[in-house]
Structure 1
Amino acid sequence: MRALKLSVQAAVVLAALLCLPLAAQDAARKHEPNTRVPAGVIRFSPSVFPDRIVASPEQDASTGFSVAWRTSAQLDAPLLQIVVAGDSPDMGVPREIASSSRELRTENGLARHHRADVDGLQPDTLYAWRVQGGGTWSAWHHTRTAARAEAPMTLLYFGDTQNKNTSLTTRVIREAMRHAPDARLALFAGDLVSGGDGEDDNEWGEWFEANESLPTSMMVAPAIGNHEYFEEFEDTPRERRVLGAHWPLTFSLPGNGAAGAKGTTYWFDYQGVRVAVIDGTSALDLGTASAQAHWLDGVLGANPHRWSIVMTHQPFFSPRDGRDNVLLRGHLLPVIRKHRVDLVLQGHDHLYGRRAGDAPTPVFVVSVAGAKQYRLSREARETMRPVAEDTQLFQVVRIDGTRLRYEARTATGCLYDAFELLDDGAAGKRLLEVQEGRIAERDCPRAQTLKGRSDRCWE
């Protein structure tokens, strides 16, 4: 009876809050911390059990992929086992591959991060694989290699996750996998975590927690964001950008990048698509824009496939006020236009906006999957369509021969944006807008965040 009385009282309070103006409702709430880990609690300490397991494509994703994982520090060069997946628990004698290992000390203790490169695989084949811990193994995971170029394929694209990953990114990942259960590749446009707050390892732990089975059921290809770097000697004459310690250990990415940015740029071929990943932070702050442009020109110029995607964290055309990435447009944009890249996938600005030029391609998209939400500039409202504030999104890209279909969906699965690119051969590519089923454009309904910031919609 007492429980019933409390639930009725709670309902009355909730109803009263919902009747208040939005500003008053916000004033009654507290700002949520960036992770769910209370101060003084060790949530993500490494152990003999392998965790943070993630598969990424090799340069040719039809014949290989690489796996990164983490264990406690006493393990060196544990094994990966792989075999063609079968319906019997006896799948045969697996092939064993040794890993390389590197140490990392964080707020959660000393860990070893491992990498195993798997090559010589058959295209379009489902493999079962697992990684070794200390006297134990992970579960057997299933990952399918890319098929031949003309086979249909589905990929997912996520803008910045960054903040409150377990709390609010989890639902976006789940909804994406529900809408695209056939997806084999996931692209992340940088700022996977926020970093620089003494909780870097907790944030990476929550990123993996939010992604659940995605990093082992498909191949993951991330771009690096500015939050994967940190400011060394901040607020002094010696201040400089330095690559964060987690990035080179957390993912096992192809080593075919641009001079001066080898560990943060790369390319790979996945089933009729060439994907090139560039490092906007390095281009803007570390002087590698020219080198990346030269490298990208070669990568795209040698593309044998019908389709191409370039992914970068910082947008070429920013939808947020006060940001203008001139160096990207000066050095890299001409290369992208020269090679008529189909999709340019971007993050950084915590908004949604699609922009195209006079030609059907390239199509430039900025999106956000995570909790932090900014405000649109007037220029973005005039030059991009559609746009969105205050909206968590994921994107599904389906490619089938001469047709590429792009969909942006909200955290609840509503269709927000959609178009198709059709390859007419010698006549070039056409862009067809898909209007049916799309919801109306969304704007931020509040004047400031819970922390009182008027330049953002949500923290």
Structure 2
Amino acid sequence: MGRTAQALLAVALSLGSLPALAQEAARLPEPNTRVPPGVVRYAPTVFPDRVVASPAQAAATGFSVAWRTDASVDSPLLEVVVAGDSPDMGAPVRARATSRELRTENGTAHHHRAEVGGLQPDTLYAWRVQGGGTWSAWHHTHTAAASGAPLTLLYFGDTQNKNVSLTTRVVREAMRQAPDARLALFAGDLVSGGDGEDDNEWGEWFEAGGALPTSMVVAPAPGNHEYFEEFEDTPQERRVLGAHWPLQFALPGNGAPGAERTSYWFDYQDVRVAVVDGTSALDLGTAQAQARWLESVLSASTARWNIVLTHQPFYSPREGRDNAMLRRHLLPVIRRHRVDLVLQGHDHVYGRRLAGDEPTPVFVVSVAGAKQYRLAEQARKTMRPVAEDIQLFQVLRIEGDRLRYEARTATGRLYDAFELVDEGDARRLVELPEGRIEERNCARAQTLKGRADRCWE
């Protein structure tokens, strides 16, 4: 909102009335970040920021950490020790980080990565990272427990836009609903990008995340907005991975050929998670290579439950989108290995679909952020439940032979729920309708910017 509009609104409120002009001013579209032009909000300093833990390939015995400082800090330390009740937790183990430079609109930063291995399963560790003459707080992260132990994890669809303004509340409600969560999956398009303030957007993503990236391990999939268009509108136009993605997270380096930096897998207790890069598959020709890689990853899995995390949906619930190449190359692998859940984003609506007559795989599309699209009529016929105009997060609870899935709104209300039951040679899907709220549909004819193809932006 501009200064004139703010002044009008302030006067209206002080007079106890809200004239039409002030009402209109109050409903002006929000900018993508709350950083005013010319203001430097997220400049790197000697203090560590953007600290995030991610799972090692074997999450029971290790994790990795990424963080950022200014360019004066090179190869800082990570310290880790078994967490204790006394402030004297004993002598920590130290790991030296590697550092890489990144120049952005907020100045030159060094992004650091340190890996910690040889840890004990199901153990609460305290750890901190070094800056320039200073340290972060001590953070607490659990290693994965042994197979058979209960597990709670979170899944978020696209956050992408207005992260501090509107994603913050979703993350906080998710942590309130699932305080025991140890793993968070993000289905891509964490930021919007390509607007000249990419670093501000990443700064807002971490601010919106609050304590989540350091109190559990974070595993994101890349979305198309983690890429940008080089040589746009020319014959040489191509997709290029943004500079932030390889530095912002310390992810396992076990990805598919051609998508080594954006696909990966890891084991967390009874779950194997395989992260597929849909943008690379669709736009950069890696669909077949990723299918062969996924075949290998799933063939070797001994986990009771298998989850595929990707950005673009195999079955799109938004009008005008069809990711046929994913179905052609990757879907046969997913079906052959009886993947349980395929968690997706991209389309900014909610929809759940089964693949034919079998109970699995269950395909879910969800959205956590502010941008809201509209459902295709085909989605209303082939998916249930569906939703428009709603911010959601998902809680997955796994215990023994049962996987319980809940989709909840930004205010914590239950929107969708089911259980998968492992019956040995087969899965059984049990709908859990009790307590769900009514179907959500967009009641607006257009957005504040006049777009009829969206519900909110």
Which residue matches 2:15?
9
Partner residue in 2 for 1:20: none
Q: SS where residue 114 of structure 1 aligns?
A: strand
Whether the aligned pair in 2 keeps the contact of 1:27 and 1:450 (CA below 8 Å) is no
SS at the partner of 1:151? coil
Deviations 1:168-215 (CA, angstroms, capped at 9, x unpaired)? 000000000000000000000000000000000000000000000000
Match of 1:66 in 2: 64
Pairing 1:291–2:289 present: yes
Change (3 A) 1:140 1:382: same
The 3 A distance-change label for structure 1 pair 25 and 401 is farther
From the superposition, tell whether residues 5 and 328 of structure 1 become closer, same or farther in structure 2 (CA, over 3 Å): closer
Separation in structure 2 between the aligned mates of residue 133 and residue 185 of structure 1, nearest angstrom: 26
Q: Structure 1 CA distance, aligned partners of 2:428 and 2:357?
A: 12
Corresponding position of 1:330: 328
User: For residues 208-257 of structure 1, what are the alpha-carbon distances to aligned partners after superposition, in whole Å with 9 as ceiling and x for unaligned?
Assistant: 00000000000000000000000000000110000100000000000000
Q: Deviations over 1:17-50 (max 9, x none)?
A: 7xxxxxx977862010000000000000000000
Aligned residue type for 1:90: D
Distance 1:375 1:53 in 2: 35
Q: Secondary structure at the match of 1:255?
A: coil
TM-score by length of 2: 0.96
The equivalent residue for 1:415 is 414
Deviation at 1:74, TM superposition (A): 1.2
Offset of residue 149 of structure 1: 1.1
What is residue 452 of structure 1 aligned with on the other side?
Answer: 450
Q: Distance in 1 between matches of 2:252 and 2:440?
A: 38
- The alpha-carbon deviation at position 345 of structure 1 amounts to 0.1
Rounded Cα–Cα distance in structure 1 between residues aligned with 2:198 and 2:211 = 22
Task: State the match for 1:131 in structure 2.
Answer: 129
- In structure 1, the residue matched to 2:4 is none
CA offset digits 1:352-402 (Å, max 9, x no partner): 000013101000000000000000000000000000000000000000010
State how far apart, in whole Å, the 2-side matches of 1:310 and 1:33 are.
33
Amino acid at match of 1:379: Q
Instruction: Structure 2 unaligned segments of length 5 or more: list them.
Output: 1-9
**Equivalent residue letter for 2:145:** A
Q: Note the 1:397-412 alignment, pairs <5 A.
A: 397-412=396-411
1:21 aligns with: none
User: Matched residues in 2 for 1:59 and 1:164: separation?
Assistant: 32
Distance 1:96 1:264 in 2: 28
Q: Using the alignment, how far apart are the partners of 2:337 and 2:58 within structure 1? A: 21
> Aligned AA for 1:432?
V
Aligned partner (choices 76, 79, 84) of residue 77 of structure 2:
79
* Distance in 1 (alpha carbons) for counterparts of 2:320 and 2:427: 34
Q: Which residue of 2 aligns with 1:32?
A: 30
Question: Could you say which residue in structure 2 is the equivalent of 1:155?
Answer: 153
Q: Report how far residue 317 of structure 1 moved.
A: 0.2
* Distance of 1:437 and 1:230 partners within structure 2: 42
Kindly provide the CA deviation profile for residues 252-276 of structure 1, in whole angstroms up to 9, marking residues without a partner as x: 0000000100000000000110000
* Cα distance per residue 1:116-150 (max 9 Å; x no partner): 00000000000000000000000000000000010
User: In 2, distance between residues paired with 1:315 and 1:262?
Assistant: 21
Query: 1:398-437: CA deviations, max 9, x gaps?
Result: 00010000000000100000000001113x1100000000
Equivalence for 2:383: 384
Q: Decide whether the 8 Å contact of 1:26 with 1:450 is kept in 2.
A: no
For residues 440 and 197 of structure 1, the distance between their equivalents in structure 2, rounded to whole angstroms, comes to 37
Within 5 A, what are the aligned runs for 1:306-317?
A: 306-317=304-315
User: In 1, distance between residues paired with 2:26 and 2:272?
Assistant: 49
Residues 30-429 of structure 1 correspond to what in structure 2 (within 5 A)? 30-356=28-354, 357-426=356-425, 428-429=426-427
Distance of 1:435 and 1:353 partners within structure 2? 15
How far is 1:108 from its partner? 0.1
Equivalent pairs counted in the alignment come to 447
Structure 2 counterpart of 1:9, one-letter code: L
Q: Secondary structure at the match of 1:425?
A: coil
Q: Percent identity, aligned pairs only?
A: 77
SS in structure 2 of the partner of residue 91 of structure 1: coil
**Alpha-carbon separation, structure 2, partners of 1:379 and 1:7:** 46
Counterpart of 1:434 in structure 2 is: 432
Partner AA of 1:389 in structure 2: E
2: CA distance, partners of 1:201 / 1:383: 39
Deviation at 1:9, TM superposition (A): 3.4
Q: Deviations over 1:39-83 (max 9, x none)?
A: 000000000000000000000000000000000001110000000
**SS state of the match for residue 329, structure 1?**
helix
The Cα RMSD (Å) is 1.6
